[in-house]
């Protein structure tokens, strides 16, 4: 499979703690994206990181990319109950416009 | 800007009927993608279209499924003679050429239930 795969499959933390999710992929990429999906809803784009970038920040989100290890991580700092959702990474596999999604990490932030 | 509009939100079909799912991309976006999501799973790529062209349909089942994105009007995903296994959430996404830094914009999906 060329998909990114997230790890862990499920994560449960207390409000205020940091949450780290990982994504591994198999082939070279141009871009990697992270999305959030609330239950029963569509996906919301969080961050796009290009293969020549190592780290990007957006608010409480920090994404790293290690192309030598073919892996990425998403860190959510100071988590809130509203962060409860599934988080997916998506990789483009040498095609700028077609992305493959992993199975996601289901994050539960307990108030 | 209304974003990506999908309709209907929910669709119930009996086995053997046809399902037509519609997607209007975000204004200014000329690329449309369809994905299917089974419960508790990730999204599976189905097809990538530009206006009047199918660019990549490698994820589409060979039979019963078709997609179009006409010059005027929404993109349509059509499933003929639906079976129970077609029950899933179908998401449409759009992007401008070149993708930019904002990635895809997704619609809220159509949840198809085949009874």
Q: How far apart are CA A11 and CA A95, in angstroms?
A: 31
**Cβ contact (<8 Å) for B42 and A88?**
yes
A13 forms beta bridges with: A109
- Are the C-beta atoms of residues B27 and B74 closer than 8 Å to each other? no
Q: How far apart are CA B1 and CA B11, in angstroms?
A: 25
- From chain A, the residues in CB contact with B113 under 8 A are none
User: How many A/B residue pairs have CB atoms within 8 Å?
Assistant: 59
Give A11-68 pLDDT, tens digit per residue.
999 999 999 999 999 888 888 999 999 988 889 999 999 999 999 999 999 999 999 9
Interface residue of B4, B29, B42, B92 to substitute, partner A, most A CBs within 10 Å: B42
**Average pLDDT rounded to a whole number, residues A95-103:** 79
Q: How far apart are CA B5 and CA B22, in angstroms?
A: 8
Which among A75, A73, A52, A51 has a CA at the least distance from the CA of A64? A73
Encode chain B (115 residues) as per-residue pLDDT tens digits.
568 999 999 999 999 999 999 999 998 888 999 999 998 788 999 999 999 999 999 999 999 999 999 999 999 999 999 999 999 999 999 988 776 667 788 999 999 999 9
* Contact residues of B toward A, CB < 8 A: 4, 31, 33, 35, 41-45, 48, 55-56, 91, 93, 95, 98-99, 101-109
Q: In whole angstroms, how far apart are CA B13 and each of B34, B88, B102?
A: 20, 12, 35
Interface residue of B43, B54, B92 to substitute, partner A, most A CBs within 10 Å: B43
Q: How far apart are CA B82 and CA B69, in angstroms?
A: 21
């Amino acid at each position: 499979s060329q998909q990114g795969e997230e790890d862990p499959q499920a994560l449960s933390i207390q409000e205020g703690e940091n949450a780290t999710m990982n994504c591994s992929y198999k082939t070279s990429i141009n871009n990697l994206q992270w999305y959030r999906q609330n239950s029963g809803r569509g996906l919301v784009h969080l961050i796009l990181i290009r293969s020549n970038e190592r780290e990007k920040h957006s608010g409480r989100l920090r994404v790293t990319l290690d192309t030598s290890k073919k892996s990425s991580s998403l860190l959510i700092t100071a988590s809130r109950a509203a962060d409860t959702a599934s988080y997916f990474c998506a990789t483009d596999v040498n095609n700028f416009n077609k992305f493959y999604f992993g199975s996601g990490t289901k994050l539960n932030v307990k108030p | 800007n209304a974003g990506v509009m999908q309709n209907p939100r929910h669709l119930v079909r009996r086995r053997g009927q046809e399902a037509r799912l519609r997607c209007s991309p975000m204004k200014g976006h000329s690329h449309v993608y369809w994905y299917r999501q089974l419960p508790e799973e990730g999204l599976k790529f189905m097809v990538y279209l530009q206006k009047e062209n199918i660019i990549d349909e490698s994820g589409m089942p060979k039979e019963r499924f078709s997609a179009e994105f006409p010059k005027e009007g929404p993109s349509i995903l059509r499933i003929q003679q639906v079976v129970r296994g077609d029950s899933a959430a179908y998401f449409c996404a759009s992007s401008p050429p070149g993708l930019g830094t904002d990635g895809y914009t997704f619609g809220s999906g159509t949840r198809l239930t085949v009874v």
